[in-house]
Each structure stands twice: as C-alpha cells, then as structure tokens.
Amino acid sequence: MMIDIQEVNKIYNEGTPQAFKALKKINLTVQKGELIILNGVSGSGKSTLLSLIAGLDKPSSGKITVDGELISKLPDLHASAYRAKTVGVIFQHFNLLESLSVEENVMAVLIHSGLDMPTVKSMIEKSMKQASIAHKATQNISLLSGGEKQRCAIARALVHEPKIILCDEPTANLDKANALKFIEILKTLHQMGKTIIIATHDPLFESLDFVDKIIHLEDGMIRENTE
Amino acid sequence: MKNSLFLHFLTLLLFKQKSKHIGAVLISVIIIFLLSTVLFISSSLQHSILCTLKKQADFTVSRIEAGKAVNTPAEWVEKIMEINGVSKVAPRVYGRYFFAPRGNAFLVVGIDFFDEQNNQEMQLLLKNLNLKTFLSQDSMLVGEGVKNFLKAHYFTDDFTFKTPKGSFKKVKIAKVLPKQSNLIANDMIILPIDVAREIFGIGEDEVTDITFNVPNDAEWDNIITKLHLMFYDVRVIEKREVKKAYENLYNYKGGLFLILYLVTIVTFILILYQRYSMVYSTERKEIGILRAIGWSIRDILKLKFYENLTIVMVSFILGVVLAYGYVFILNAPLLSQIFLGNANLSNSVTFVPVVKFGLLGSIFFFYAVPFLAAVLIPAWKIAVTPPKEAML
C-alpha cells in the first residue's frame, strides 16, 4: 500500500465562528502505480485532500501514511524533505517563479538535494524532455503560453523522480489541445509506474481507459468509489 | 557541491529580480553615503585640528582684570622662563582686525620671527620664504580666505591697516599660507610682532598673551598652581581644553546628523518591513512556491538572509566609496559649509583622507542588522504558514 488515509478531518479556522469543515472522516487507500481521479464540484474538498497528501497542510485529525511513514504529523524539516523527495505537485495556477526561466524553475526543486551540478543538469534535461518543454528551457516563464507553463510545472514535478504525482485541476487553465497533450504525458507517467492522483472536475478524465479509480467527493466526504 | 547550487540559484534570483531590489539598494546607498560622508568629514576635521593642535604650545597665559582679558606685561615672559620644567616661552600679539566696510574680520597674529622655534615652524610651513627680505620690509603671511577677500577689494599686493592713533600702516602680502592650514588659518594674518603692536596700538612692554610648553605632562597641574601663585590675575588656557572644545564642536555637529540618520533608517526599515509583510506580495508567493516544492523554513531563511546580505553589502560598499570620493576628491561641496560655516570669510578646506575602520564596521553593523531583521522576520512569518496559503 502506497498511501493510506484514515479518518481524516480538516477544519479551517478551527475554534472560531468561521470554522469550516472541508473534509469529513476520509478513508482511502491508494496502491503503488495507481492513477486515481478525485472529482467533485468546487468546494467539495478535492484540493484540500490533495494538499494533505502533498504535505502542504496538516489534517485536523486522522492519519495519512505514505510508504509506511506517517506524514500527517511530520515536523517542518521532515515534511519539507518528504515534499522534496516523494511527491511532485502540479498546481492549477502552475505556481512558477515568474522571473526565472523554465530550467531555473525546474532546478529550484534540486537546490538542497546535495547533488552535483552535472547530475542536476542531466536530471533537468530529462524531466524537460519528458514534459516536452526542453525547447523552451531558457525562456522566461512570463513569456510562455498556458500550455507551456503547464508543461514546465510537469517538468518541475518530475525532476526529482518522485514516487507520487499530484495534480490539482491540471487542465482548468488549458485549451482542449493542451489538455490532450497533458493526458498523453500522464499516460506515459502511469506506464512508468508512478502513483498519480488527480483532483479535477473535467469530464475528460472520466473516460480515460488507464484510470484505475474515480473517487467522487461531495461536501467533504467520499460519496462514490468507482474501480 | 550543495553550496555551489545554492550560490548559483542565489545569484540567479539576485540578477533576475534586480528590479525588485533596485529600490532597496538605491535608498540604502543614499543613507550609507550620507552617514559615511558626515563621518568622513567629522573624522577628517578632527584629525586636521588635532594635528594642528599638536604643534601648538601646551599653555597660553594672559592677564585678566575683573574677568576681562587685558594686555599682558611683557616682563611675565622672563618670570615664566624661570619656572622649572617650562620651555619655549613666546610672547604673542593678536587680535581681530575689522574690515569696516564689509563687517568682516581678520585674525592678526604677531609673532617673534627671531625666535628660533617660530623661525623653524615658518620655514617648515613656507619652504621658499626668504626671511631676510620678509623682515626687511613690513610684510605679512595671509590665509587663503584673507587673500581672496583682499583681492576682491583690490588689495592684491599689500593692505593698509588703520592704527588706533589714526595713522595708516601699509603691509606687503609676502606669501599665502598653504591650503592645508585653511581649517584654522583661513582668516589669519601672520606678521612680525612689532608690526602687530603698531596695528593694535599695544606698547612695547605689553603683549596679548604668552605661550609655553611643559614637556612633562605630570607637571602640568603643578605649573598651573605656580602660575596662579606668581600672578594673581593670570588666566591659563591648556591645550587639552582647546582640544576638547574642538572635539565637542564636531561631535555635536556629527551628532545632529546621526539623529537625522536614525530617523531615516527607522523609516526605511519600517517601509521594508511593511513591504515584506504585505498579504499579497510577490515575496509571499515566492516563499509559498519554494516551500511547496520542498524547501524547509531554514532553507527559505537562508536564501533570504544571503539575498539581503548581498544587497546590504553592495549598498554599503557603493555608499562608502561614493562618500569617499565626494569628501576626499570633490571636497564635499555643499555639506562642508555646514561643518565649517562661512559667516566671516568663505573657507575652502582640503579634507585629509581619514578612514576609521571601526566606525565603518559600526555603520555596517547598525545598518545590516535592522535591515536583515526587517526582511527576515516577515519572511519567517510567511515561511511558517502553510505553503498553500502563502501561494494564494
């Protein structure tokens, strides 16, 4: 078992009158190499669940275990190491450093890896090729199209060869052609044995033949689990 | 290897985000430039004055009557010479000579050119001064300010003094004192003691004051006591008092600038703090992104520390170098007048380069620490929030 989520709750603004329960008693297991779709309307809790698995936030209660490591209670230094080694995240709004180029954005992940420059360079090249963005390596992010930014974000998510890839609404800001390109890259990554979780409400993903599981979230709870 | 990647990334951020840093660098350079300028001027003036004072006599005595300075009997010279431990006793005649039409004044100092010590000092000051020719006619040495002032009033070769008896005394301008002595000799006229007596109407048995040295510092207080026992109406001025007065004067002026500097730096630091604390600032998003891709809080603080340390160091070096050029090469136009004042004769001083590294270190420390704190505290606050929130 790769990811094990048990009785996870997430409450924002806990203990205040504005308290909001985003996730309620979530139980989920993800096997190694699986491709899972988390769907549901906006505000259903998809992105929150994804950020908890990514270690970007902590659950209010419950446990999240990844590869046997309890990540829901990790102190900052270990949580950062977990993000830097185990997961690669592709965000809806790409979240790239606008002043840097494609390769520099990708490199940012490896700054504290302890690797030497030639190794880092070859890893960057490899990930950029996988994401089909190598031709724009030195281009500044601010000059890229939405699709190119997305591919840069993919290259950044892949560069450290993570076991888990998490995508938050990856096609929300793309046109159909770029969305299909993204799906192609996704398929290749799935074939490579990566564990992939995609939070989306794009119906395009529901018809994909290589999806292992579709989980429907509603009001912070899992309503349906389709194998 | 780890560090080389970090340094590479740090350099990239600094160069690619230079527009973000340019404002902070510019303001920092201006603040450090102003502060360094004030300190350079103040240190240079203090240095010059102390050097000049070193050559001055240890004591100056004059007679007082009811608390008012009056002419001193010349016979005191002989009496002071008799005190053990006293050397180089010299009478002086000096006073302010008012140039009535303009309300300006010259400091006229009459000295004994036949005195060996005075003679040597003058030869050192003015290498090509022919003392024989100088003394054969009524001549004087004038400060640069006096020379320019007289020239502006068509006295190019000589000047005619009006004596208290109503007669005129024409004195030839023999030489101009070197520019390096402008700090204290800008408005000074040095001439033979007898000519000075004539100008001020002082009798041959009188002088304005008497100077002398006491080589053994430990004896200074004893000598003062002896003088007071010897003359009931004596006023003694010690060199160390004069030194203290000058130091206080420039420390006071420098202190005013320091207060202004502190106000400026506090304002700037508050602006910086505000900028970094802004809820939707680009810094906030950048930190959130780096945290999301695996940077720890420590990594973020390290990046921000080195990024801003570089900014502080570049600003500091630029500010200090510019201040050095402004003060010691351009002679601090505009600002020098605040320190020197030009109420009497306009003065132009050449600042002798004096750099106190301890002081520069203090400027760096007192600038770098609040600057870094103003950036690192908000950066830390952002770094400890969940990356998801910071990236919004």
pLDDT tens across B175-195, in order?
A: 888 776 777 778 888 888 888
Query: CA-to-CA distance for A40 and B102, rounded, in angstroms?
Result: 93
- Cβ of B296 within 8 Å of Cβ of A112? The answer is yes
Residue B391 pLDDT exceeds 90: no
Residue A143 pLDDT exceeds 90: yes
* Of A212, A217, A221, nearest in space to A200 by CA: A217
Q: Is B115 part of the contact surface with chain A (CB cutoff 8 Å)?
A: no
What chain A holds in terms of domains, given with CATH numbers, is: 32-56+79-226 (3.40.50.300)
Residue A115 pLDDT exceeds 80: yes
Give the least confident one: A122-126, A146-150, B321-325.
A146-150
Residue B135 pLDDT exceeds 80: no
- Cβ of B387 within 8 Å of Cβ of A112? The answer is no
In this prediction, residue B125 carries a pLDDT of 65
Q: Is A107 part of the contact surface with chain B (CB cutoff 8 Å)?
A: yes
Render pLDDT for A60-107 as a digit per residue (tens, 0 to 9). Answer: 999 999 998 999 888 888 999 999 999 999 998 889 999 999 999 999
- Cβ of A117 within 8 Å of Cβ of B294? The answer is no
Query: CA-to-CA distance for B161 and B198, rounded, in angstroms?
Result: 10
From A99's Cα to the closest Cα of chain B, the distance in A is: 6
Give the residue-averaged pLDDT of B16-44. Answer: 86
Residues 299-338 on B with a CB inside 8 Å of A are: 299
In this prediction, residue B263 carries a pLDDT of 77
Give the residue-averaged pLDDT of B265-290. Answer: 79
Q: Is A54 part of the contact surface with chain B (CB cutoff 8 Å)?
A: yes
In this prediction, residue B142 carries a pLDDT of 86
Give the residue-averaged pLDDT of A156-165. Answer: 93
- Cβ of A97 within 8 Å of Cβ of B388? The answer is no
Render pLDDT for B229-265 as a digit per residue (tens, 0 to 9). Answer: 888 888 988 888 888 887 777 676 667 777 777 777 7
Residue A205 pLDDT exceeds 60: yes
% chain A with pLDDT above 70: 98
Residue A36 pLDDT exceeds 90: yes
* Token reading at A177: 């052609």
Residue B121 pLDDT exceeds 70: no
- Cβ of B9 within 8 Å of Cβ of A109? The answer is no
* Of A120, A119, A109, nearest in space to A86 by CA: A109
Residues A167 and A200 sit within 8 Å (Cβ to Cβ): yes
Q: What is the mean pLDDT of chain B?
A: 83
Facing B2 at nearest CB: one of A54, A114, A160: A114
Give the least confident one: B5-14, B111-120, B340-349.
B340-349
* B101 against B25, higher pLDDT: B25
Q: Is A76 part of the contact surface with chain B (CB cutoff 8 Å)?
A: yes
Query: CA-to-CA distance for B239 and B61, rounded, in angstroms?
Result: 11
Would you give the end-to-end CA distance of chain B in angstroms? 33
pLDDT-derived band of residue B305, with 50, 70 and 90 as boundaries?
A: very high
**3-class DSSP string for A138-199:** CCEHHHCCHHHHHHHHHHHHHCCCCCEEEEECCCCCCCHHHHHHHHHHHHHHHHCCCEEEEE
Query: CA-to-CA distance for B40 and B320, rounded, in angstroms?
Result: 9
Render pLDDT for B200-232 as a digit per residue (tens, 0 to 9). Answer: 888 888 898 898 888 888 888 888 888 888 888
In this prediction, residue B341 carries a pLDDT of 61
Render pLDDT for B345-364 as a digit per residue (tens, 0 to 9). Answer: 666 667 878 888 888 888 88
Give the residue-averaged pLDDT of B367-388. Answer: 88
Separation of CA B269 from chain center: 29
Query: CA-to-CA distance for A215 and A225, rounded, in angstroms?
Result: 5
From B287's Cα to the closest Cα of chain A, the distance in A is: 10
Q: Is A21 exposed, middle or buried (0-12, 13-18, 19+ CB in 10 A)?
A: middle
Question: In Å, how far are A15, A58, B83, B144, B270 from A220, measured between CA atoms?
Answer: 18, 15, 103, 88, 42
Optimal mutation site among A14, A109, A112, interface B, most CBs of chain B within 10 A: A112
Q: Where are the alpha helices (DSSP H) in chain B?
A: 2-16, 18-55, 75-81, 116-125, 131-136, 144-152, 182-185, 193-200, 220-230, 239-277, 282-292, 297-324, 335-340, 357-383, 387-390
- Cβ of A89 within 8 Å of Cβ of B292? The answer is yes
- Cβ of B386 within 8 Å of Cβ of A56? The answer is yes
* Of B295, B307, B308, nearest in space to B384 by CA: B295
- Which residue, chain included where needed, has tokens 């007048």? B337
In this prediction, residue B3 carries a pLDDT of 67
In this prediction, residue A226 carries a pLDDT of 67
* Of A201, A146, A195, nearest in space to A168 by CA: A201
- Which residue, chain included where needed, has tokens 């998801």? B388
In this prediction, residue A106 carries a pLDDT of 96
Instruction: Report the run of H or E that residue A21 belongs to, with start and end.
Output: strand A20-30
% chain B with pLDDT above 70: 88
* ipTM of this predicted structure: 0.92
Residue B279 pLDDT exceeds 60: no
pLDDT-derived band of residue B289, with 50, 70 and 90 as boundaries?
A: very high
In this prediction, residue B122 carries a pLDDT of 65
In this prediction, residue B42 carries a pLDDT of 80
Residue A9 pLDDT exceeds 90: yes
pLDDT-derived band of residue B110, with 50, 70 and 90 as boundaries?
A: confident
Residue B343 pLDDT exceeds 70: no
Give the residue-averaged pLDDT of A7-14. Answer: 91
Residue B269 pLDDT exceeds 70: yes
From B12's Cα to the closest Cα of chain A, the distance in A is: 8
- Cβ of A51 within 8 Å of Cβ of B388? The answer is yes
In this prediction, residue B118 carries a pLDDT of 65
Q: Is B98 part of the contact surface with chain A (CB cutoff 8 Å)?
A: no
Instruction: Report the run of H or E that residue A96 belongs to, with start and end.
Output: none
Q: Which chain A residues touch B386 with a CB distance below 8 Å?
A: 51, 56-58
In this prediction, residue B320 carries a pLDDT of 94
- Cβ of B9 within 8 Å of Cβ of A111? The answer is yes
Q: Which chain A residues touch B280 with a CB distance below 8 Å?
A: none
Facing A112 at nearest CB: one of B13, B291, B295: B295
- Cβ of B293 within 8 Å of Cβ of A115? The answer is no
Domain assignments of chain B as residue spans, ordered by start: 2-51+245-390, 59-213
Give the least confident one: A16-20, A159-163, A173-177, B291-295.
A173-177
